[in-house]
Amino acid sequence: MDIEVFWQYVITAKHLNFSEAARELNLAQPSLSRNIAALEQVLGQKLFMRRRPLCLTPAGKLALSKISELWSGYENLLLEVKALSKTLTGTVRVQNLSFLPSGLNIMASVSRALEEEYPNVNIELIDFSYSDLDKALDRGYLDVGFVYALKDKPPEFSPDVYLVEKVQSYDNEMFICIEKSNPLANRSSFTLTDFKNESFIRPVGAENEVLYAAFDEICQAYGFKPKYETIGSHSIHEYYMQSLKGRVSFFSKSMIEHLKIMPSLSSGLVFPELDDVRFILSLYMVHRKDISNPAALAFMEQLLNLSAPQGTPQTQDLGVSGGGVESNDGCQTV
């Protein structure tokens, strides 16, 4: 039942007249009568003796006293909650989203929303790898962490300890990254099978396992198993330039756009787009269920609010159309 019905009852009891009460409430009189009747049904008692003028029953007098107290408490609650946004202080420790090309945009949006709603809450960005995320949350080094995972396949954390919530999903084109010296670079169009005999570089790190597991599934839908050569470099220059050495890699559209604004890294590369392959990318927020830091709760509120109104970006099934094969698998990439 809408709490406004309680206030409507208080006004009706004051006037002892439905028409006058409806006028003060700016409500149609039949609607007010229905609402009061619904309240009586919930309470199981008549609140008015229907005569002219109306008269409160014993249950009506008791209800008026209790509802007046309830409404006063409700109004105080609204005032206190509104004041909280100005008085809440503290720091939320958040995993740095710089491992995602869109991470800076996401964090900037949340920061603006948080500053507007809770101006005295600060965000501290901390770097932690995926493999250390649970330890960081358990030991209090982090309040909120992030992971990426396959479409509709949330990352596995103990459900008794952690809460995993989807923040955003993306439908993204897939690009291959090859050196200009590679014979394939001279082609005008590409499909994934063009690269079945190539060796793909695979950086070490647990955060990459989900991505490459998804890529394996896509390649298998095309009828081949990709060959990998593991590299351990975390230097962006070495990763994108020196580490290729005749091999290939694959990226999302957002990563390619990030690379193209860095000519020193991309000048010797070609980025063929695979029109028939798309990635479904999902970003998840992870935190402990027993989290009590008010600043962290405020941060998570704003993050989820930013995602919810637009209705998480439309997620589409991954269609692998080459060779007439269809797949509903997806992944998130960085």
* Cβ proximity of 296 and 114 under 8 Å: no
C-alpha angle 273-275-277 in degrees, rounded to nearest 5: 100
State the Cα–Cα distance between residues 206 and 192, nearest whole angstrom: 25
- Average pLDDT for 35-41: 93
Of 64, 14, 18, 62, the C-alpha closest to 37 is 18
Long-range contact set of residues 181-190: C-beta below 8 Å, sequence gap at least 24: 181/246, 181/268, 182/246, 182/248, 182/270, 184/272, 185/270, 185/272, 187/272, 190/272, 190/273, 190/274
Within its chain, how far is the Cα of 59 from the centroid? Answer: 48
Pick from 100-104, 116-120, 314-318: least confident: 314-318
**In the block, residue with structure tokens 């790898």:** 129
Pick from 71-75, 84-88, 261-265, 296-300: least confident: 261-265
Per-residue confidence (pLDDT) for residue 206, from 0 to 100:
55
State the Cα–Cα distance between residues 167 and 164, nearest whole angstrom: 10
Per-residue confidence (pLDDT) for residue 294, from 0 to 100:
92
State the Cα–Cα distance between residues 20 and 11, nearest whole angstrom: 9
* Cβ proximity of 148 and 101 under 8 Å: no
Q: How high does pLDDT run on average in the chain?
A: 78
Pick from 76-90, 261-275, 290-304: least confident: 261-275
pLDDT digits (tens, 9 = 90+) for 324-334: 222 223 222 23
Q: Which domains does the chain have, with CATH numbers?
A: 4-87 (1.10.10.10), 90-163+286-307 (3.40.190.10), 170-281+316-324 (3.40.190.10)
pLDDT digits (tens, 9 = 90+) for 117-167: 889 999 999 987 777 888 999 999 999 999 877 666 778 888 899 998 888
Per-residue confidence (pLDDT) for residue 252, from 0 to 100:
64
Per-residue confidence (pLDDT) for residue 205, from 0 to 100:
63
pLDDT band at 296 (very low <50, low <70, confident <90, very high): very high
Per-residue confidence (pLDDT) for residue 176, from 0 to 100:
80
Say what the pTM is: 0.58
pLDDT digits (tens, 9 = 90+) for 188-199: 788 888 888 888
pLDDT band at 112 (very low <50, low <70, confident <90, very high): very high
For residue 318, pLDDT over 50 is answered with no
Per-residue confidence (pLDDT) for residue 331, from 0 to 100:
28
For residue 73, pLDDT over 80 is answered with yes
Q: Two tokens at 93?
A: 């420790």
